[in-house]
A and B are shown apart, each in its own frame.
Chain A
């Protein structure tokens, strides 16, 4: 008996937390099927029980507003995909180099380079974005997809390198050395042997970078205004138009968080070790 009560209590607490974690998602989901009156007449919780679900908001988004939603949605997909891809390519080369070679420049060694790279993540974006704004004005990269791809590649690179370094370190060097004895160049060994072996790590880094770019707000807010706007900006701009149409915003929120949600579930195990990077070492 003495053991049972704390057990039950702990389950109650966990279930409360579970409800707290999931309720906002549930609420967004049900709101997307509400008529305006079901929103404004106080909270209605259960479809078919205290309100009749309708597809109005979904039709609004996919039929009425689709022409306005599609370009930013495509921008988000294109910018996030290409920047994540570039971050993985450039990052995998750097992580490989850091795991295989010894760099030495004055008192600067591999450890310092790794620290310098990861410390970039802690830089406040507002301090970065102001000079980038001026630079992009001069280079005519403001409000372009290419500009955003470059910024997000740089933004994702440190973390991608950090994630992939472990993978490269875990691949035994003998295989590539054997290949190089057989006449492979270092670069061929990297491409044909190391990359395929590190594949799971590259995928994790890619998906993680994708989500980071997908969710990013401040850079997009400052560096784009029309053509290259991404989906978070469209959500953020919703309240300024026809008042707040919660049912429409809910649909928009769902299609925005859906990719991130799916990716989270796919890479959840890697994510845990990735997110807690270095913390437990």
Chain B
């Protein structure tokens, strides 16, 4: 009973959170790791299941659909987030001054972030429609050919990135904007005296100071995009074929549609480990630049 004496009011305050995070953080993490070594299937719950060692993980290597979904997710993260960062940085530099119109831009730019991705997915599916969507129509007005946004295996991944770009570039803008606004004006006054050009000021002052912020926002977005599923689900359903399928979508299909929870867990764990490795490298990089 001696241990109980140590329980103080502070423990009571934090206990509910700890319990919830155990139930929905640590328990699932351990359980899905264990599951990933079994052949547990929802279709054969009655028959029980057995441990199959590394079978699921070995199967991943020869599963073309898994490799493709991994590659797609990787493209969404690298290309998608990279482009969001560049455009976000550019736009943040245009609206950092405290003027009325800039304040208005900031509010409007924020809107896409919070909107239901499933609804947004449909809106874009409508706009990108090959024959009656406005995007191709607008392209034809300026004499550009129509693009098979959702029906070509090459363009469809770009369409996915376009929607994510629309929804999340604002996040980059706002984070970098906040970073830019917190830089002391003295840096720029000194540069003004030396007669530096705008590009030089950006390259030698703004960009290096914003580097830690940049790494953080890129990391946050990269982790989010690594989990992408809802936009793909409504925009292309993973198609045409499986050309836009992300790792989470494939995990869902093999686990819930094909009932193979053991295999799906090994897929889920692969993303988990990938995210952890990625996060670790990034945090290390950030330390170096601090």
Which A residues lie at the B interface, using CB under 8 A?
6, 10, 13-14, 17-18, 20-25, 27-28, 31, 39-43, 45, 90-91, 93-94, 96-98, 100-101, 103, 113, 116-117, 120, 122-135, 151, 153-155, 157-158, 161, 186-187, 190, 211, 214-215, 217-218, 221-222, 231-232, 235-236, 238-239, 246, 249-250, 252-253, 256-257, 260-261, 263-265, 268, 271-273, 275-276, 278-280
Contacts and interface: CB of A to CB of B under 8 A. Distances in A.
B132 A41 contact: yes
Nearest to B251: A126
Contacts of B213: 279-280
28 contacts: A20-B166, A21-B108, A22-B108, A24-B127, A90-B16, A93-B16, A122-B223, A126-B247, A126-B251, A127-B32, A127-B272, A130-B261, A133-B256, A134-B261, A215-B116, A217-B233, A232-B119, A236-B118, A246-B126, A249-B122, A253-B119, A256-B116, A257-B116, A260-B114, A264-B110, A268-B110, A272-B174, A279-B179
Contacts of A20: 166
Contact of B117 (A100, A186, A215): A215
Nearest to B136: A43
B119 A27 contact: no
Residue of A40, A211, A280 most packed against chain B (CB within 10 A): A280
A176 to B, nearest CB: 12
B114 to A, nearest CB: 4
A22 B110 CA distance: 11
Given A131-B31, A218-B248, A43 B133 contact: yes
Interface stretch (B20-28, B75-83, B152-160, B187-195): B20-28
Contacts of B182: 280
A117 B175 contact: no
Contacts of B2: none
Residue of B28, B29, B114, B133 most packed against chain A (CB within 10 A): B114
B133 A235 contact: no
A17 B91 contact: yes
Contact of A24 (B29, B120, B179): B120
Contact of A130 (B111, B114, B117, B264): B264
Contacts of A133: 256, 261
A158 B18 CA distance: 11
B116 A157 contact: no
A89 B261 CA distance: 34
A158 B17 CA distance: 9
A6 B268 CA distance: 48
Question: 10 tightest A-B contacts by CB?
Answer: A131-B31, A97-B13, A154-B24, A127-B268, A101-B10, A94-B17, A253-B119, A217-B230, A43-B134, A276-B175
A275 B126 CA distance: 29
Contacts of B174: 272, 275-276
A246 to B, nearest CB: 5
Contacts of B258: none
Given A122-B275, A130-B35, A275-B175, A90 B132 contact: no
A161 B252 contact: no
A153 to B, nearest CB: 7
A217 B16 CA distance: 25
A111 to B, nearest CB: 14
B206 to A, nearest CB: 14
Prevailing SS type, chain A contact patch: helix
A114 to B, nearest CB: 11
Contacts of A161: 17
Contacts of B111: 21-22, 25, 261, 264-265
Contacts of A256: 116, 118-119
A151 B206 CA distance: 42
B16 A94 contact: yes
Contacts of B94: 10, 13-14
Contacts of B110: 264, 268, 271-272
A31 B126 contact: yes
A261 B108 contact: no
B265 A127 contact: yes
A260 B115 CA distance: 6
A268 B106 CA distance: 9
A126 B271 contact: yes
A91 to B, nearest CB: 7
A26 to B, nearest CB: 10
B238 interface: no
A165 to B, nearest CB: 12
B234 interface: yes
A98 B13 CA distance: 9
Contact of A125 (B40, B95, B233, B248): B248
B10 A42 contact: no
B265 A42 contact: no
Contacts of A41: 132
A201 B212 CA distance: 27
B279 interface: yes
Contacts of A253: 116, 119-120, 122-123
